Amino acid sequence: MELATKMNEEENLDCIFCKIVNGDVPTELIAENEHAIAFLDLYPKAPVHILVVPKIHSDNILQLDNSSSLIGLFELIRKVAATKTDGQFKLQFNTGQREGQSVFHTHAHVLSEQSK
């Protein structure tokens, strides 16, 4: 799937997810809307493991204070969960190194034992 838009105006040049949003690093794209993209986690920890990522850079969910981006992010999370899982899933935002965050660009993990 090709990225439809390039709208990452607040790109962080050292950020791997900004590079994915910009199409500079290849990924298995699942879905996209104006404000967010969803792609497969490179090292899946469940049969379904999808990352949903706002297009604008922020370090974590506490730093993401753009209402449109937040709404777009959650709309895409709901779409991915509805179309790629059987309706049972975990939604996780690891926030801070101690709590398991390793990529410091806001992202939601959608994890499920069962795909649709």
Does the active-site annotation cover 57?
no
* From the list ligand 5GP, Zn ion, none, partner contacted by residue 43 (C-beta under 5 to 8 A by kind): ligand 5GP
Stretch that binds ligand 5GP, among 6-14, 41-49, 53-61, 73-81 (CB under 6 A): 41-49
The beta strands (E) that lie in 1-116 are given as: 29-32, 36-40, 48-54, 90-92, 108-112
Q: Is residue 46 close enough to count as binding ligand 5GP by CB under 6 A?
A: no
State the binding partner of 89 from Zn ion, ligand 5GP, none, CB within 5 to 8 A by kind: none
Beta-carbon contacts of residue 58 (< 8 Å; ≥ 6 apart): 10, 64, 65, 66, 105, 106
Q: Which residues are catalytic?
A: 107
